[in-house]
Structure 1
Amino acid sequence: MYRHLFRFAVTTLTILTANLITTAISDYVIGYKNNFKPLVFTLLGMGLIVLIFYPLFMKVNEWVNGLSVRIIRSGRSLAGKYLGLILAFISALGILTYFYARMWYNIDL
């Protein structure tokens, strides 16, 4: 049971964090679209996204997965096996919620 909860927590945090990072980079690149003609920007943007995201996604997946595992394990060592997992997961979701709210709505929670 614990193994399934642990995998769920790590996978969820990995997906949300990787999506947050890649969306922030994508929004930054798209911010320059007014400086070029639409077709030129589209082609440059597509090439730039592949150049940035391919190596980044390979590394981000490793980094975030490792970070998620460390967060979950540190919660386990502080508050016990199940309670620590739940508290660490809820804390990490709270932090991700803050960054998503800032990115999507420009609000500070």
Structure 2
Amino acid sequence: MNEWVDVLPVAEFASGTWQTLMLEGQAVVVFHLDDGFYGLEDCCTHDGSDLSSGDVEGGEIICPLHGARFDIKTGAVLVPPAEEDVKVVAVRVDHGMVQVRRS
């Protein structure tokens, strides 16, 4: 199944912010960076913490528990203690709505 799910109108999603939602039982965090929208599973691969509770610096999300850093665009681990990348969630803008793909 490749359906797209509305998150929020683009006009209500300020740059530099992020939103969380549940998608098929999985927490997802959608980021609005200066160059677009990106999505990740909202779970640190090191300890299971909600990444959405952390801070964003540039294009990185910092886990609030142990400081692991992940690239928001690719999900790649940038700083340990995490060793596994975070799963990327597809995001698009369609008719003024930010959407994530349910797969």
TM-score over 0.5 (shorter chain): no
**TM-score of the two chains, using structure 1 as the length reference:** 0.23
Give the number of the structure whose residues are more often strand, by fraction.
2
**TM-score of the two chains, using structure 2 as the length reference:** 0.24
- Structure scoring higher RCO (CA < 8 A, sep ≥ 6) equals 1
Give the number of the structure whose residues are more often helix, by fraction.
1
